[in-house]
Amino acid sequence: MRRPTPALLPTLAFTLLLGGCATQGPTPDAPRAADDWQAQKPRLEAMQSWELTGKAGLRTPEDSTSANLDWNQTPYHFRLLLSGPFGSGRSVLEGREGRVSLTTGEGRFEAESPEALMQQRLGWSLPVAALSDWVRGLPADASPHRLSRDERGFPAHLEQDGWKIDYRDWMREDDLWLPRRLTMRYDDLRVTLVVTRWEPGTTDA
């Protein structure tokens, strides 16, 4: 993995969030039984649409910064808006099957996939497709993984594709426990996501 230079941090922060420390269980805003995770897992797997609002932080050996995040996901389209990243305005990553665009203050860039766009703009890529699973507390289907759970059976630590994801807090929305705070690490790169609002879409389960 090629380490980003400080000049690339705004674009990197955006692409990292397509879109994993001590682990805490869900906050006690409702009772939680030991089998809650297994009971809700089919609904999480079927949940292909959501709106998510939160704050994202990026830390490297050279820098530490944050931005506000708005993420809209459907089965056929995604749109991520980062506002106020490091005083540089806003960036939008938007795509559907076969075409992805990244719009920043430097212009609009397109590629056939998020991975291809990152390779084009940064010179390396991430398992972008996996991040939409990780943010729901699920491992991606495409590659092997290691998952450890807390005493109630909820995901606590996930390792996949060289990334280490820690689930530090949870929130309850529409009868689902969803990650409220998670960290994602790759070597000396660290991304923190704190969710302030989850709005799950309709599931098929």
Per-residue pLDDT, 4: 42
Per-residue pLDDT, 107: 86
pTM here is 0.78
The superfamily (CATH) of domain 6-75+127-200 is Lipoprotein localisation LolA/LolB/LppX (2.50.20.10)
Per-residue pLDDT, 95: 85
Per-residue pLDDT, 14: 44
Q: What distances in angstroms separate CA 127 from CA 12, 82, 88, 92, 202, one per listed residue?
A: 13, 20, 26, 19, 26
Please list the ranges in the chain whose pLDDT falls under 50.
Answer: 1-23, 28, 30-31, 86-87, 123-124, 203-205
Helices 9-16, 114-122: inter-axial angle, 10-degree rounding? 160
Per-residue pLDDT, 21: 39
Q: What is the pLDDT of residues 136-153, one digit of tens each?
A: 999 998 889 999 999 889
Helix spans in the chain (H)? 9-16, 36-46, 114-122, 128-134
Q: Centre a 10 Å sphere on the Cβ of residue 148 and count the other Cβ atoms it contains.
A: 10
Could you say which DSSP state residue 35 is in?
T
Q: What is the DSSP string of 111-168?
A: ESSHHHHHHHHHSS---HHHHHHHTTT---SSS-EEEEE-TTS-EEEEEETTEEEEEE
Per-residue pLDDT, 33: 61
Which letter, b or e, does each residue of 85-114 get, where b requires 16 or more Cβ atoms within 10 Å of its Cβ?
Answer: beeeebbbbbbeeeebebebeeeeeebebb
Domain extents in the chain: 6-75+127-200
